[in-house]
Amino acid sequence: MSDFDALQTRYQQYRQMYGLKQRRESFADWPFRDDCECTPEKMAEAGFVYNPGANDPDVAICFFCMLELEGWEPHDNPWDEHNKRSPECAFLCKMKNRDFLDLTVAEFMAFEKERLKIFMRKSFHVKMACLRDEMDKLLVKLEAMKDSLLPKEKK
Ligand SMILES: [Zn+2]
């Protein structure tokens, strides 16, 4: 799956993650439990969804701003970590101690519009990175072609 496909899949799936219950359920196999600051409950309250990879068993992603964090320690506070790295996240700023079910339709639509903007911005960055890679590969090919076409220097 390309980076863009993964991003698009997340964007679509995370529409279901406004609910605390859904986010909490994603942490069924989360390694940090009792006596930790980053329990499944606190991770979910801070907007995170558990998204482990084969080599990254503790990846959590904000369902809203798509901030991706790994390398969690038992004493890490999910709200603080989220706030440190993505202070503009609308979920973080407007949803603390509020339930998604309390949102009006207009508020929900405003959230979804913001989430779409974030997705579009991230998509643009992923596509630009792909384009840069392709350009670099093409440049290498063109350099090799140029070398083969130029007359060899006489010794
Ligand atoms: Zn966020």
* For the chain, domain boundaries: 3-149
- Cα of 153 from ligand 1 centre, angstroms: 59
High-pLDDT (> 70) share of the chain, %: 98
Looking at residue 154, its pLDDT comes to 62
pTM for the predicted model, two decimal places:
0.83
Give the distance (Å) from ligand 1 centre to CA of residue 39. 17
Asked if 59 and 31 touch (Cβ cutoff 8 Å), the reply is: no
CATH of domain 3-149: 1.10.1170.10
Q: Which of 10-19, 91-100, 105-114 has the lowest mean pLDDT?
A: 91-100
35 alpha carbon to ligand 1 midpoint, in Å?
A: 24
Q: How much distance in Å is there from the Cα of 78 to the middle of ligand 1?
A: 11
Tens digit of each residue's pLDDT (9 = 90 or more) over 67-109: 999 999 999 999 999 999 999 999 998 887 777 888 899 999 9
CB 24 within 8 A of CB 41: yes
Q: Which tokens is 87 given?
A: 């202070």
Cα(142) to ligand 1 centroid in Å equals 43
User: What is the 151 CA–ligand 1 centroid distance (Å)?
Assistant: 58
CA of 10 to the centre of ligand 1 (A): 14
The DSSP element (H or E) to which 62 belongs, if any, is: strand 60-62
The mean pLDDT of the chain is 92
pLDDT band at 55; cut points 50, 70, 90: confident
Percent of the chain scored above 90 by pLDDT?
77
Amino acid making up residue 69: L
CA 120 to ligand 1 center in whole angstroms:
15
Would you say residue 155 has pLDDT above 70?
Answer: no
Question: 147 C-alpha vs ligand 1 centroid, how far in Å?
Answer: 50
As beta bridge partners, residue 49 has: 61
What is the rounded CA–CA span in Å between residue 51 and residue 46? 15
